[in-house]
Amino acid sequence: MLHLISLKDWSPELIGEVLDLADDVKKQPARYATAMAGKTLLMIFEKPSLRTRVSFETGVTQMGGHAIYYDMGTSPLGAGKENIADTARVISRYVDVVMARLFKHEVIVELARHATIPVINALTDHSHPTQIMADLQTIREKKGRLNGLKLAYLGDGCNNVTYSLLFGCTKMGVDIRVACPPGPDYSPASEVTRSAQALAKKAGSQVLITHDAIEAVRGADVVYTDSWMSYHVAHEKLEERVRVFTPYQVNATLMQQAAPDAIFMNCLPALRGFEQTAEVMDGSQSVVFDEAENRLHAHKAILLKLLEAAKK
Ligand code: CP
Ligand code: NVA
């Protein structure tokens, strides 16, 4: 059974096929108007969401299927009355595909282990693969290619989006430089860096983890940042994190270090004046809303690919 749990498990060929399909779905949506007829997607959420929830649900509707929003808090699983394995077995008897946004990555791995339908990771504390699929689509659309590009990621290095970028970029031949504060709370876990370096070696791309924002951004084609206060981070951490991350804020001065035609990306939600200034977020180099739109097209392509694989 093909699942989308982490981009680390997907080959560059498979990622490329989904990106091509996402482009086609975007160009000719009518072609896919009945592609999910009679199919149901279950969407389990343990954390908030705007883009992921609305784009998946809309995508399924546009392809003639049905999506069920399921708040984890209202489930026997969330109430501690049922385990993940039984939940996986039961939902596999009803629906065709399930996506889940959860705190712990181990829980989605466990869900996939016991499900007999495709499982999509809609964000865990460890990874956010559906986001990075849309990001790769956006980068390729704006730059005409992926191979040989340089992406600079600024801010929280110990983060789901960072990890999925590390896997997705290296696999697709994009050099990635992560600039983050020192220390295990802010830098990528060493096993993630090691995996990304091994993937980069295979694809001929490069990985740099640095604490110097300018070193990361110099000459970059893509400048990317994410929230300093991810959903799982406690509000009490705000003051400390603003202090620690401020040297990595994407502002106009930092953008000047990037290639003149560099694009600015943020998976959103974003706070102007925090991880980027309003000037950058609303400026001419920002593609954040095209990036958000591509979640819709990329998610449709992911669903189609997983459903097709499940048939075989
Ligand atoms: N980027 C993203 O996943 O947004 P949501 O949290 O709104 O789904
Ligand atoms: N790193 C962020 C991504 C939000 C889409 C978080 O986990 O909240």
Regarding whether 16 and 118 lie in a shared domain, the answer is yes
Regarding whether 116 and 89 lie in a shared domain, the answer is yes
1 inside domain:
no
Whether 67 has a pLDDT exceeding 90, the answer reads: yes
CATH code, domain carrying 94: 3.40.50.1370
In tens, the pLDDT along 115-134 reads 999 999 999 999 999 999 99
Instruction: Place 198 in a pLDDT band, splitting at 50, 70 and 90.
Output: very high
Instruction: Place 174 in a pLDDT band, splitting at 50, 70 and 90.
Output: very high
What pLDDT is attached to residue 312?
80
Which atom in ligand 2 lies closest to the alpha carbon of residue 226? 1
Q: How far is the CA of 147 from the centre of ligand 2 (A)?
A: 26
Regarding whether 279 and 174 lie in a shared domain, the answer is yes
Structural tokens at position 121: 């990771």
What whole-number distance in Å separates Cα of residue 281 and Cα of residue 267?
A: 12
Regarding whether 297 and 193 lie in a shared domain, the answer is no
Regarding whether 304 and 250 lie in a shared domain, the answer is no
Report the C-alpha dihedral over residues 290, 17, 301, 102, rounded to 10 degrees. Answer: -90
Neighbouring C-alpha atoms within 13 Å toward the C-beta of 136: 34
Q: What is the mean pLDDT of the chain?
A: 98
Regarding whether 229 and 143 lie in a shared domain, the answer is yes
Residue 256 is among the residues annotated as catalytic for this protein: no
Regarding whether 36 and 67 lie in a shared domain, the answer is yes
What pLDDT is attached to residue 219?
98
Spacing of C-alpha 257 from chain mean position: 26
Regarding whether 258 and 148 lie in a shared domain, the answer is yes
Q: How far is the CA of 256 from the centre of ligand 2 (A)?
A: 26
Total structural domains in the chain? 2
- Tell me which residue range forms the domain holding 52: 7-127+293-311
Regarding whether 135 and 112 lie in a shared domain, the answer is no
Which atom in ligand 1 lies closest to the alpha carbon of residue 231? 6
